Structure 1
Amino acid sequence: MTVIPPQSAIENLELIARQVVEGFIIGLHKSPFHGFSVEFAEHRLYNSGDNLKYVDWKVFGRNDRMFVKKFEEETNLRCCIAIDTSSSMFFPGEGLSKLHYSCVAAACLLHLFKKQLDAGSLALFDESLNELTAARSGVRHYRMLMNELEKLLQLQDPHRQTRAAAALHQVAERVHQRSLIIVFSDMPDDPEQNDALFDALQHLRYNKHEVLLFHVVDGRRELDFDFENRPYEFVDMETNETLKLNPSDIKEEYIKRMTAYRTRLANQCLQYHIDMVTCDMREPVEQVLHRYLIKRNKMM
């Protein structure tokens, strides 16, 4: 499993994505996860007498083991990766942020799209939809999308709030063919914004799109509320509101409310037939690839 390096160590996004995906593929060879509609899902160990033209020499060169490709299936799934670029995605402000985690995960997905000949596109949003690219499958287009992700890695906090609902309504209207919409966001915690967001997600479903929602969180700070027992000043990254307190005074109540919030999100996703996955930045990015393949296999 691959742990994403901190921001300062992310120098070549395409290289990192290729290493993660290729390691993930080798892991599939050794796991019970067979049958995915992807070229590498039907590899098996070489047996004496097998036709050498079906040997995957790239895998052999990396691992000194011979695998035979049963088949390679060309597909034409259309996938749009929508990334929240609002100020809260720059949390925790040092090391690996939620935005950087999302960019690395998106790069890995794009690498899979290229291998599967699937058409990929990017949507970037904060207070509005800032960019929505066309969905294509060519190498030139793939490189352009990687370049856009690398630009995001250099982006400074734009001091913008999240208006995901309006942006996703635009995506629903502008992506005309049935697609898989993959959303990376830390999700609004305001009940009114949350309801508006699910209206937009329902709009995507009404327009025949499938939705895979990755809820990106810093598990140590946001889920476990793990802070030292001393006074802190907490700053809202989107509104700049401040609150001074000792975390130990409210930890129990915070975890109770956070648990209730996450349960409500999960129930809403279940109601609208949306697949939601919590992405804790402490965990390897391979979980994103697994959930994508499971969703993709259901669609194919």
Structure 2
Amino acid sequence: MKQSLNLGQVRAFGNVEFLARQMVEGFITGLHKSPFHGFSVEFAEHRLYNTGETTRHIDWKVFGKTEKLFVKRYEEETNLRCHLLIDTSSSMYYPDANYGKMTFSVMAAACLAYMLQRQKDAVSLTTFADTIDVQTPVKSTPSHVHKLFTQLDLLMQQPKPLRRTSAADVIHQVAEKINKRSLVIIFSDMFENVSKSDALFSALQHLRHNLHEVLLFHVTDKKTEEDFAFDERPYEFIDLETGEKVKLQPGQVRASYQQAVKQQFQELRMRCGQYKIDFIEADIAQGFDQILTAYLVKRTKMK
């Protein structure tokens, strides 16, 4: 069921709203042929049945299609407020060829915004690096969502900056500004936080303390950033957030690099689990269904 787009073609086409519509509608069509059959229409208006509660609101038609117990939501249960946060620091513009992680994150956020609009849920967009660059209100009106897509188009056209990430500070600011229970979805490669993980998780705890749900997409180019699968020849590696350069052959450091990255990812995953934060590895080579599926699963679990 995996859908993917050539990230270079995404940048060249430039209309993220149109592309998002095509991707989401294709995804929903695919759900009818998958184990998720039945969610495509019903998941916005239903939640999973909790053992012990009354059975009077179970939707038996949905059960007939999914063999899973779903309860119809009341009006007040269906209105979701969702805040989309995109890290726009320098490292998110890797790989350079198509500004891969940034292009992927913008397109993924556009797909979620379209799906939220389709469900008549409210959505906002925040972009940040060391400070907040853009922060829209959270609304569900067509004119608001169109403005949000315009912001995403502008972000797609933005040249690569030389900026570090200060995700912890930004997340604290966002937590202070959100005054109603919401779903906060973050797209980031988390590179700032190798040495600042305590500060990051303090900020994420701030969101959880305020009763917000958090979905953290860890955006990576798995082939090079995790597997370090470069050809065996000399390279000059450049730190995209500091500009520091080092020349070496991949084989000299591959094993130690892979071990360090594995340890870092395990710590992120473990600490997210401790704070009940949904941590999703989002490989930019794997398309957008992974994003929409993770959102769909999270949405059905929220009451």
- Quickly name the TM-score band, shorter chain normalised: 0.7 to 0.9
Q: Distance between the aligned counterparts of 2:188 and 2:153, measured in 1?
A: 18
Q: Does residue 108 of structure 1 match 2:99? A: no
- 1:212-256 C-alpha deviation (Å, 9 max, x unpaired): 000000011101101111111111111000111111111111111
Paired residue type of 2:4: V
Structure 2 unaligned spans of 5+: 46-71
- 1:103-151 C-alpha deviation (Å, 9 max, x unpaired): 0000000110111000000011100122221110011011000000000
Indicate the residue corresponding to 2:67 in structure 1.
none
Q: Say which of 16, 23, 35 aligns to 1:20.
A: 23
Q: Distance between the aligned counterparts of 2:232 and 2:40, measured in 1?
A: 50
Indicate the residue corresponding to 2:80 in structure 1.
77
Q: State the Cα distance separating 1:193 from its structure 2 match.
A: 1.7
Indicate the residue corresponding to 1:184 in structure 2.
187
Indicate the residue corresponding to 1:224 in structure 2.
227
Indicate the residue corresponding to 1:147 in structure 2.
150
Whether the 8 Å CA contact 2:44–2:300 is kept in 1: the answer is: no
Whether the 8 Å CA contact 2:43–2:296 is kept in 1: the answer is: no
- In structure 2, relative to structure 1, the CA distance for the partners of 1:213 and 1:118 (3 Å cut) is same
Q: State the Cα distance separating 1:176 from its structure 2 match.
A: 0.7
Q: Distance between the aligned counterparts of 2:37 and 2:4, measured in 1?
A: 24
Indicate the residue corresponding to 1:58 in structure 2.
none
Q: Does residue 211 of structure 1 match 2:187? A: no
Residue aligned with 2:124, SS: strand
Indicate the residue corresponding to 1:128 in structure 2.
131
Q: Say which of 252, 259, 283 aligns to 1:280.
A: 283
Indicate the residue corresponding to 1:265 in structure 2.
268
Q: Does residue 252 of structure 1 match 2:255? A: yes
- In structure 2, relative to structure 1, the CA distance for the partners of 1:164 and 1:177 (3 Å cut) is same
Q: Does residue 97 of structure 1 match 2:100? A: yes
Indicate the residue corresponding to 1:47 in structure 2.
none
Q: Does residue 243 of structure 1 match 2:252? A: no
- 1:237-278 C-alpha deviation (Å, 9 max, x unpaired): 110001111111111111111111111111010111100000
Indicate the residue corresponding to 2:55 in structure 1.
none
Report the more deviating stretch, 247-256 or 184-193: 184-193
- In structure 2, relative to structure 1, the CA distance for the partners of 1:189 and 1:253 (3 Å cut) is farther
Q: Distance between the aligned counterparts of 1:191 and 1:252, measured in 2?
A: 18
Q: Say which of 179, 193, 200 aligns to 1:197.
A: 200
Q: Distance between the aligned counterparts of 1:191 and 1:126, measured in 2?
A: 16
Paired residue type of 1:284: G
Q: Distance between the aligned counterparts of 2:41 and 2:133, measured in 1?
A: 32
Whether the 8 Å CA contact 2:28–2:40 is kept in 1: the answer is: no
Indicate the residue corresponding to 1:3 in structure 2.
4
CA root-mean-square deviation? 1.9
Indicate the residue corresponding to 1:162 in structure 2.
165
Paired residue type of 1:6: L
Paired residue type of 1:268: R
Q: Distance between the aligned counterparts of 1:189 and 1:131, measured in 2?
A: 20
Paired residue type of 1:152: L
Residue aligned with 1:282, SS: helix
- 1:28-48 C-alpha deviation (Å, 9 max, x unpaired): 111221454855779xxxxxx
Residue aligned with 2:268, SS: helix
Whether the 8 Å CA contact 2:44–2:119 is kept in 1: the answer is: no
Whether the 8 Å CA contact 2:31–2:38 is kept in 1: the answer is: no
Indicate the residue corresponding to 1:233 in structure 2.
236
Instruction: Report how many residues are paired.
Output: 272
Report the more deviating stretch, 87-96 or 100-109: 87-96
Instruction: Report the TM-score when normalising by structure 1.
Output: 0.86
Structure 1 unaligned spans of 5+: 43-70
Whether the 8 Å CA contact 1:4–1:284 is kept in 2: the answer is: yes
Q: Distance between the aligned counterparts of 2:13 and 2:279, measured in 1?
A: 27
Paired residue type of 1:292: Y
